[in-house]
A and B are shown apart, each in its own frame.
Chain A
């Protein structure tokens, strides 16, 4: 069955709208701010037999967009094994090695049944606040096994023919520090699936199952055609980019993330085999996660390619299990966000060599999962868990955006006032960080400084997984690197920094003491010595950069009163090769 282009365009809009609406339903009804405010969730429609992504919402977390196909496949395999599926069944799991990402991400997967057969799968994934393990919030930087990170749930039937299995709910509740929050999020995800199922049945009734099947196939092949056309337009060759993670949280040894990107005609090969071996700490990722983040990087480069599995068809992956990018159980993976950000960075870095005019400086690229936790009355836990922002890279169009989210996410940050109303903390600074953006003709965006004081009588436990403490976000096309990530905490003896820089556990601050996080900006784009001196002067006036940086990085000299010293600048720049 071939569809006319008009019907296809109409159906594409309808399908994406359904996925968008599922996203919105969960955001509005979720309990924890990571879903409700930061949108750490995703919904879509997946192929009945292969699990391949058919339709994704436009607002879902980008990294999940790539990962969900693997999760659905895990359920398909489970069903094949169990051999029994009914209308109204829904599976749940968080197994990171089987199409998951890390233990906090709970997937609910439901068959869309038509005439007794699976037409497609609808799925919901959301980040729950806590699922046991050694560290509240599960970002345990010292984990050496999955068991220290939290409770691992394989695909199990949460809902049988429409009725929730209370046994499973009870097991989940007993293994979390915040069972009510998880219960609320679980209900939000069920709300989203209920709604998606209703809408899809309406659409199928209206157009007929065969028409929708044909439309889904056509949309996938169109995405593939578009991707092939995009790749074919690039010069053939092999392009290399290596970058490093600071350490694995256990031993202070950098971990290499290495990419050899080959373009040959209309195909692309991403070879990560030179990357570091699996590590002891939680910076490993599963192969499915690695492919998902490649997808994210490519979508940021080829913006017009639709979000379905077709766009990965022309890409070949080499991600051997000798690397930390394709581990299996029980290797720890809680810090997966850091590793995938570095994978995305090396793809951006290699692409900057393929097409410098279309590239951008590296984004700040660390999630800085910071938890402050303590106890309320009656031994009830409080956990303030938040990801923090940084700068994006300078790019051909403009300076990088100040204080943005990471490429894997569209998450907004919870307001200070919401955090202070929920937890016994007080922010003493929430500001842009001067000199944190990489110098460039177009400067990298600025990172931020967040300073938090503990208000609770018994202080707060502090946990952090962050990166970019030793290897800064890089510039491209002649642009310079951004500032490094820094974390400082107060003790009775004064301010201290942790030995592993941004991997922190077993720290407790007392009432009135503070922690401070200073995040990187983005890398610069183009030679900073070509930035118009007036823009550099303005950056100094605004406090984006210091006078010293103006002189050192941009070769721009300011007079005492802050105005441009044109002669001294000309001399300083003449001494620099352009």
Chain B
């Protein structure tokens, strides 16, 4: 694709599928929101494209998907087989010897490959890479045939110490391919060439579990797109926020686990940057959870792994998203010790909050917002319901919170919102202050349906600089699909001491990994402006088992990156002091692994297309007023149509700003203004 091609971002979420179309040639954009169909996610996708006028005129589609995550959570993937080192078939089931909760000993665990679908073969590699027992291809073929007979649709090969030497795994791959009827074969070193057998095996097995599902999903989409005369390319967003080709997605579907949310963070970063903010915290308030992610100095934070559910670990670089169980559907209750709790139990979207009138009678956070007049009960967003039942919300609040605490409906609702605000503030504190970031330099960016209701409180409680409510908060993830760069990550375990390190050899490895990752980007067929390669080492003092991420400030000068023992040492010490208060002089340092990311930069998006039209005016935007509860009293509060506000409009709090997919509450003492790109900035008045 070229920078002038029509591109569409499609984010299939749990409730809605959002689409964002951009035609860079004339700056035209278009959005669509259609219901998602759980279990057949391609339906929402295709319906959404229809709403945009069909696929024929589109050159490129980038897709954020939850198919992989949902398949795992609901365990609706296929039967898979696993071939392991003799003595180790139970690694997947034994996990890291953990349990579900600190307190309480109940509950069990079902691995994604049953014990009779995991077969051992004779082979063994030692920690130093020495192959102590070579592989017998005949035995591997027999194991694969057995698993096939037992109904396996895909297969993972997970050998001990394959990170140190993948030769046995490679030979096993060859042997399995000779008998395996499809492309769904993966070896652990292909998904992650990193030490720790459970995490690597789990990632490989999950990958095998998702391969047939994701491949069939992509296949279905591609067939339907072809029928719709789509002649461009389909791409998938990865958990690291970069996009990949569908070929890579079929091979490494474990990398799609956080596809949708990652796209949202990417969009957040781009929107903030265009408005002149480099430090932000994205806040996504959904029905059951509140997800936050930090972008500091324009860089998204990456995490090394995530746990999808107890015992289901995916280890691959992904955007770090911190989640707490507090969403609009979170249920408020008073525990037997008399303490008010909001969440983690949730009414979800079905039956949903009490005000939905769909059978739930326990109060949720949304009910409290409705009772306080913050959400417009006559125009709920999403478009499914005609109106909200305010009285049902109040009844639920009085019965379950008001009476136990001796509060009336309004005071109880205010208490629920306050406790929820505090939990959200806690999550933000966790990713900002507790990582050494000064909140006064950060802006909060709410997206998703409900985040903008809470930004005023978050600014106040945490001392954030301001909040930036994007022009279209409800379609942020779809927008992120359009904006995302290409990205390919690689990890290699090195395990070498820094003292006397062979810097030339390290340089060669980095260059080779950089070239390999860049080749994946270059081969994806997507037009890019340039490829950036980032190099990072995982390091520690010898004896520590955890590592810290050490970004290397290196760049090509001619043919050389300029890696030296001194640059690595200084980079390590800088990173270490960023995390801990004391260096340990005199102790040896070790380089555990090398992480390389190749990033294919996409053309910069011009957010001016979102600017309010010249005809926007305060008069058009004024919607009247209604009573809203603030700081212990009802205030007659002006209500504005947010999208009708002109550039530089300034609205003093208290105020409520409404738009089809979000409501922003501006508390007294704060004010909102519209910037040149149509963003709403809420800041101290």
Contact A413-B338, Cβ < 8 Å, known A399-B108, A401-B109? no
A428 beta carbon closer than 8 Å to chain B: yes
Contact between B94 and A402, CB atoms less than 8 A apart:
yes
Contact between A29 and B108, CB atoms less than 8 A apart:
no
Within 8 A of A (CB), among B545-582: 545-546, 548, 579-582
Q: Which residue of A lies closest to B544 (CB)?
A: A31
A421 beta carbon closer than 8 Å to chain B: yes
Partner of B426, one of A14, A190, A397: A14
Residue-by-residue, is B188-200 near A (CB-CB < 8 Å gives 1, otherwise 0)? 0000000111110
Contact between A430 and B94, CB atoms less than 8 A apart:
yes
Partner of B97, one of A225, A389, A400: A389
Residue-by-residue, is A377-421 near B (CB-CB < 8 Å gives 1, otherwise 0)? 000000000000100110111111111110100111111111011
In the docked arrangement, what's the CA distance between A492 and B335, Å? 63
Contact between B103 and A303, CB atoms less than 8 A apart:
yes
Contact between B107 and A31, CB atoms less than 8 A apart:
no
B53 beta carbon closer than 8 Å to chain A: no
Partner of B160, one of A187, A410, A417: A417
Contact between B98 and A412, CB atoms less than 8 A apart:
yes
Contact between B581 and A6, CB atoms less than 8 A apart:
no
Contact between B87 and A451, CB atoms less than 8 A apart:
yes
B-side contacts of A413, CB under 8 Å: 96-97
Distance between B195 CB and nearest chain A CB, rounded to angstroms: 5
In the docked arrangement, what's the CA distance between A58 and B430, Å? 15
Distance between B642 CB and nearest chain A CB, rounded to angstroms: 30
A8 beta carbon closer than 8 Å to chain B: yes
Within 8 A of B (CB), among A7-27: 8-10, 12-14, 17, 21, 25, 27
Contact between B127 and A398, CB atoms less than 8 A apart:
no
Contact between B430 and A17, CB atoms less than 8 A apart:
yes
A-side contacts of B415, CB under 8 Å: 5-6
In the docked arrangement, what's the CA distance between A428 and B87, Å? 6
Residue-by-residue, is A215-235 near B (CB-CB < 8 Å gives 1, otherwise 0)? 000000011011001000000
B175 beta carbon closer than 8 Å to chain A: no
Partner of A429, one of B87, B127, B426, B434: B87
In the docked arrangement, what's the CA distance between A304 and B337, Å? 9
B89 beta carbon closer than 8 Å to chain A: yes
Contact A415-B196, Cβ < 8 Å, known A29-B544, A395-B105, A395-B106? yes
Contact between B127 and A421, CB atoms less than 8 A apart:
yes
Partner of A404, one of B88, B97, B163, B548: B97
A-side contacts of B587, CB under 8 Å: 180, 183-184
A-side contacts of B199, CB under 8 Å: 415
Contact between B426 and A401, CB atoms less than 8 A apart:
no
In the docked arrangement, what's the CA distance between A396 and B106, Å? 8
Contact A405-B422, Cβ < 8 Å, known A421-B495, A542-B114? no
A-side contacts of B224, CB under 8 Å: none
Distance between A367 CB and nearest chain B CB, rounded to angstroms: 12
B90 beta carbon closer than 8 Å to chain A: yes
In the docked arrangement, what's the CA distance between A35 and B339, Å? 33
In the docked arrangement, what's the CA distance between A300 and B100, Å? 13
Distance between B432 CB and nearest chain A CB, rounded to angstroms: 13
B-side contacts of A399, CB under 8 Å: 108
A46 beta carbon closer than 8 Å to chain B: no
In the docked arrangement, what's the CA distance between A8 and B405, Å? 13
Contact between A405 and B97, CB atoms less than 8 A apart:
yes
Contact A225-B338, Cβ < 8 Å, known A37-B545, A360-B106? yes
B-side contacts of A194, CB under 8 Å: 581
Chain A's interface size range is: 35 or more
In the docked arrangement, what's the CA distance between A199 and B579, Å? 15
In the docked arrangement, what's the CA distance between A194 and B582, Å? 10
In the docked arrangement, what's the CA distance between A455 and B199, Å? 25
B-side contacts of A30, CB under 8 Å: 544-546
A-side contacts of B582, CB under 8 Å: 187, 190-191
Contact A415-B195, Cβ < 8 Å, known A9-B341, A17-B426, A448-B94? yes
Distance between B13 CB and nearest chain A CB, rounded to angstroms: 28
A-side contacts of B527, CB under 8 Å: none
Contact between B339 and A405, CB atoms less than 8 A apart:
no
In the docked arrangement, what's the CA distance between A184 and B124, Å? 34
B336 beta carbon closer than 8 Å to chain A: yes
Contact A432-B94, Cβ < 8 Å, known A5-B405, A33-B545, A226-B337? yes
Residue-by-residue, is B122-139 near A (CB-CB < 8 Å gives 1, otherwise 0)? 001011000010000000
In the docked arrangement, what's the CA distance between A181 and B588, Å? 12
Partner of B105, one of A392, A430, A451: A392
A306 beta carbon closer than 8 Å to chain B: yes
A-side contacts of B105, CB under 8 Å: 300, 360, 363, 392-393, 395, 401, 404, 407
16 new A-B contacts, CB < 8 A, other than A184-B587, A223-B337, are: A5-B338, A10-B418, A13-B426, A28-B580, A30-B545, A30-B546, A31-B544, A62-B102, A62-B103, A225-B338, A299-B103, A306-B337, A397-B107, A410-B102, A418-B196, A431-B94
Q: Which 5 A-B pairs have the closest CB atoms?
A: A389-B97, A412-B96, A226-B337, A413-B97, A222-B337
A-B contact pairs, 30 of them (CB 8 A): A6-B418, A9-B341, A13-B426, A17-B426, A17-B429, A17-B434, A21-B430, A28-B548, A30-B544, A36-B545, A36-B546, A187-B580, A222-B338, A300-B105, A360-B105, A389-B94, A389-B97, A398-B107, A401-B105, A403-B93, A403-B95, A403-B97, A407-B105, A411-B97, A416-B160, A426-B126, A429-B88, A432-B94, A445-B108, A448-B90
